Amino acid sequence: MSAEAKLAQLGIVLPAAAAPVASYVPVVVHGGMAYVSGQLPFVDGKLVTGRLGEDVSLEDGMAAARACGLMILAQLRAAEISLDRVARIVKLGAFVSSTADFTDQPKIANGASELMVEVFGEIGRHSRAAVGVPVLPLGAAVEVDAIIALHAD
């Protein structure tokens, strides 16, 4: 089943692609790869802010990472890249705003990772980094970037 059809089957509606908050572009395609800039978690149009281990629950953190994953897919579409061109999700980088004693960053990153497998199946399995940081842009709880291999047009 195509990724576009899988989204429809799952009832997933992608959000509008967020505009960059600084001097960068959301997606760069080079050499058959799409490099997607770090995406922030918007749920119902509102940015999910806070820190894991302080004022954001594990469940809300996972949902925030999933929202970042949805925004990655939205950015691909906004760059006029059909999700059916995805040959492989190569790598996700998850940055989790967290306290010094919070160590469940991998669980938070699973929100985005599991979405990719849900939508793309085996080609959605990827390498990953899950890193705890003290603060993220705009106070976001999570940020996720991606490297994605593409089929030729």
pLDDT digits (tens, 9 = 90+) for 7-18: 999 999 999 999
CA distance 120 to 9: 12
Q: Which residues on neighbouring strands pair with residue 144, listed in sequence order?
A: 39, 94
The model carries a pTM of 0.97
Give the H/E segment covering residue 73. Answer: helix 58-78
- pLDDT, tens only, 5-54: 999 999 999 999 999 989 999 999 999 999 999 999 999 889 999 999 99
* Tens of pLDDT, residues 86-131: 999 999 999 999 999 999 999 999 999 999 999 999 999 999 999 9
The secondary element (H helix, E strand) that includes residue 36 is strand 33-39
Specify the CATH number of the domain 3-8+27-150: 3.30.1330.40
